[in-house]
Chain A
Amino acid sequence: MKTAAACSVAALALAACSSSSDSASSAPAGSGAASAPAESQAAAPGGAAYAGPVGDGEGQLNILAWPGYAEDGSTDPSVDWVTPFEKATGCQVNVKTFGTSDEAVKLMQGGGWDVVSASGDATLRLIYGDTVQPVNTDLVPNYADIFPDLKMQKFNSVDGVAYGIPHGRGANLIMWNTDKVTGPIDSWAPTFEADSPYKGTVTAYDSPIFIADAAVYLMATKPELGITDPYALDQTQFQAAMDLLTQQKELVGEYWSDYTKSIDSFKSGTSTIGTSWQVIANLAKSEGVPVEAVKAKEGATGWSDTWMVAKDTPNINCAYKWLDWIVSPEANAQVAEWFGEAPANAKACDLTSDKTFCDTYHAGDTEYWKDVYYWNTPTANCLDGRTDTQCVPYSDWSTAWAELRSS
């Protein structure tokens, strides 16, 4: 394992060299050169979208996906939407899964992958890093049935140009152990406020993106800070969020990054209250752990994943066939149920095996998602449109998080 760790450090160093030289050299020779010379600074990154029409497949497709997003029956024989795709299109699929958004970005930058299921905290990095190309949604017939409030969002489009196809979404919920916490809970307050009765058993998500959760709480509790987008924080707002997280650290017993660890933590009693996902709540309940999970009244962060196409993919037709396949009502319903998230395709709700599934996950409930702030990548140019100030970029989020966790 140590060797693995050492190798990965070495790998990063190498990857760093290769990815940076890639982006330098691929700019003039990018595949987007098929149409307009869109390489100027102001134009959309990644060149032009595929003009179509989608022709015969190239015979293969390399997919980079979250675990559970591209199942070919090897995990569970009954869970398979990749094999039917291969049969229908003739595109032989090669799937690699990743554990975190950071890993996904690194793998995409390394090249060799045609499509990726990117969460909002990865998409902008991929777009501005010139790693993915715009997507021509006209070539994806099933795009028409996708919930409108998922289309052309800040994390899957730039200046009105779409960069991917929405796949599904989920909110980060507050979960608590009903035996040990006097419920019902409807607020993040017990996980943030210093006088929380659950000191020592609070749990939180171990990622820099969790700073946004603190920002969401501050939006409700300290409106004077003027936060409108938890991913666009200027220095003062950012500091307030970090102060809140420092205060929270006193309460935390354990941070989690792997959802199985979170389940285990609630099962063993190490954690009794904290941030969680719907799928964690479902699995914990099925294992007999007395938990409840709701969206807090202050609002919540969440994720909305997007299928994106690599900039220099040689398998563009297979890639578009996959984009259409994965958001088709049938496949989308299967993925959503297997993974435990709200499907993006409205018609998927009729095809789930559990007929209450879409209600449980609030798939079409526009009101529910109004105060869910989907993961996004903070950049120095404020994402909320402010031009009079600089926002704290994600690189500083991660160092601040590392510092918080280190102290």
Chain B
Amino acid sequence: MTTATSTQRGGFGYRHPRVRLAGLLTAPMAWLVVVYLGSLAALFLTAFWTVNDFTGQLVKTFTLKNFQQVFTNSAYLETMVRTVSIAVLVTVLALVIGVPLAFFMARVASSRWQPLLVALVLTPLWASYLVKVYAWRAMLQPENGVVAWFLQPFGLSGPGYGFTAIVITLTYLWLPYMILPVYAGLTRLPDSMLDASADLGARNGRTLRSVVLPMIFPSVVAGSIFTFSLSLGDYITAQIVGGKTVMLGNVVQTTYVTNLPFAAAVATIPVIIVLLYLLVVRKSGALENL
């Protein structure tokens, strides 16, 4: 077909593939560089400035004061540790819940049920973030929430608002982001490999450990990047179900108007943590599975 019509289609772009490529990519690349990387650079630069005590406006003189304040003050260090712990816990919980679920969807459920299950996993993503968080706020109410009511017969009290509530809510919010990549990874796993493993005498546990897990590991890492980085940057959940507990995002929110350089210094921390995480997982090949 190409050869048949090439004479009519032999326009400028066709004869100059490099120009065509440049034409196609300039706009999106400019977007990426200017808007995304540019704002990141501006953020980082701002972190070295300070504000005028009288007018509260930016003063562009170089100082390390903001970073010093963030890294020497025990309150902020605590928040940093707390935020990372929340992100790690959410990721672990999403793994524990998400991987078996994805396995069931991809390998156990009949092909008639598969699309329905995928749709069910996706459904919560269609609802507004705020609606979901407020729903959890209602459910986690300390005295008369659903969770407290459910735990009462066992002599337990609900978690109330705070650290646990944040972890539960974020896990719920980001779970689909774990399930979907793992599900995709599992569907790509060829049956022949599992058959071969069985033929060679491996039991289910051995197959899981030696065949399935190494094959889906990159997908799991891909899912964990989502759950980890999404949790790390969140602040609205902490505001709604966190009670007194705050995350790094809340510190940024409290300070960004009056002390932008300090907020920028705080906002740089999650960026660095995520970058470090990405560097580590790059080796696993997970980034190709995103």
Binding site for B on A (CB under 8 A): 1-2, 5-6, 9-14, 16-17, 19-20, 23, 102-103, 105-106, 125, 128-129, 206-208, 249, 252-255, 257, 261, 264, 268-270, 377, 379-381, 393-399, 401-407
Contact = CB atoms under 8 A, between A and B. Distances in A.
Contacts, number: 145
B277 to A, nearest CB: 15
B243 to A, nearest CB: 5
A395 B258 contact: yes
A142 to B, nearest CB: 31
A10 B36 CA distance: 7
Contacts of B160: 270
Nearest to B266: A402
Given A17-B42, A398-B258, A254 B244 contact: yes
A5 B54 contact: no
A20 B57 contact: yes
Q: How large is the interface on B (under 10, 10 to 19, 20 to 34, 35 or more residues)?
A: 35 or more
B228 to A, nearest CB: 11
Nearest to A398: B258
B273 interface: no
Contact of B75 (A10, A14, A207, A406): A406
Given A5-B235, A402-B250, A405-B244, 15 more contacts: A11-B39, A12-B256, A13-B39, A16-B46, A20-B57, A129-B56, A208-B258, A254-B244, A270-B160, A379-B54, A395-B259, A401-B254, A403-B73, A406-B251, A407-B74
The 9 A-B pairs of least Cβ separation, nearest first, read A102-B257, A10-B39, A1-B129, A407-B75, A13-B42, A380-B53, A13-B43, A406-B79, A395-B259
A158 to B, nearest CB: 12
B93 interface: no
Nearest to B74: A407
Interface of B: 35-36, 38-40, 42-43, 46, 51, 53-58, 60, 69, 73-76, 78-79, 129-130, 137, 141-145, 160-161, 229-230, 233-236, 239-240, 243-244, 246, 249-252, 254-260, 262-264, 267
Contact of A399 (B35, B69, B144, B246): B69
B230 A399 contact: no
